[in-house]
Amino acid sequence: MAITIVGVSGSLRRESLNTRLLKAARERMPENTELILESIADIPLYNFDDEAESGVPPRVAELKAAFASADGVLICSPEYNNAMPGVLKNAIDWMSRPAADIPAVFGGRPLGLLGATPGGYGTVLAQNAWLPVMRALGVSLWNGGRLMAPRAGGLFDQQGRLTDEAMDSRLRNFLNGFVDFVRESH
Ligand code: FNR
């Protein structure tokens, strides 16, 4: 069975290490599996008044639809001040509106976490910070593996391609394990 995974990077930066890692993942997906990258660049700041007056913005509705039709989701989260970046939390918060849509968008959906940082701890605290959020949304979090990429500035060449052999192997293992989990969830 063909599997479609949606991937979201939590960084808006042009040279983002997290976006690079997700692009590397896209090139290394197991057979019969596609990783579609979605951007959070055009998501406005959440404001209840805006929601009440106009509903969810079109880009939020598109992202919700992309999640709702995906077999699984990969979130590649930077770490800011030992937690997740506000832009990514904001996007997820918007996608959880209206709350009645949460089961269709997130409920039971297989989700894997990964992240890259120039620092030494590989976004472990950001990944932990996501846990209560994922629980609140009712996703099916893959706990069989998680990928942390410390000192990630040295993993890519000048064109942004993953060149580090150890990370290449870890990323492939992570993706194989996650896709197995997605297949078992069906
Ligand atoms: C950071 N950074 C960071 N790194 C880390 O490993 N732990 C942390 O707690 C923080 N805190 C932090 C706060 C703020 C406000 C910024 C802007 C940055 C560094 C961060 O990992 C680095 O900027 C990455 O390059 C961000 O990811 P992208 O943009 O490369 O994907």
Residue 30 preceded by cis peptide, ω within 30: no
Which CB contacts under 8 angstroms, 24+ apart, belong to 125-129? 125/79, 125/82, 125/83, 126/77, 126/78, 126/79, 126/80, 126/82, 126/83, 126/84, 126/85, 127/77, 129/82, 129/83, 129/84
Going by alpha carbons, the residue nearest to atom 27 of ligand 1 is 78
pLDDT at 160: 97
Contacts of 163 (CB under 8 A, 6+ apart): 155, 156, 157
ipTM for the whole complex: 0.99
CB-ligand 1 contact for 17 (6 Å cutoff): yes
45 vs 172: CA distance, rounded Å: 35
79: Cβ below 6 Å to ligand 1? yes
pLDDT the model gives residue 12: 98
Domains and CATH numbers, the chain: 3-185 (3.40.50.360)
pLDDT at 70: 98
Q: Give this prediction's pTM.
A: 0.97
Read off the pLDDT of residues 117-140 as tens digits, 9 standing for 90 and up: 999 999 999 999 999 999 999 999
Q: Is residue 13 within 6 Å of ligand 1 at its C-beta?
A: yes
pLDDT of residue 106: 98
Ligand 1 site, residue 16, Cβ cutoff 6 A: yes
Q: What is the pLDDT at residue 60? A: 98
Query: What pLDDT does 141 receive?
Result: 98
The pLDDT of residue 186 is: 83
CB 77 less than 6 A from any atom of ligand 1: no
| Cα 148 to ligand 1 centre (Å) | 13
Residue nearest to atom 1 of ligand 1 (CA): 80
Per-residue model confidence (pLDDT) at position 1: 83
**Can you list the residues of the chain whose pLDDT is less than 70?**
none
CB hemisphere CA count around 37 (13 angstroms): 17
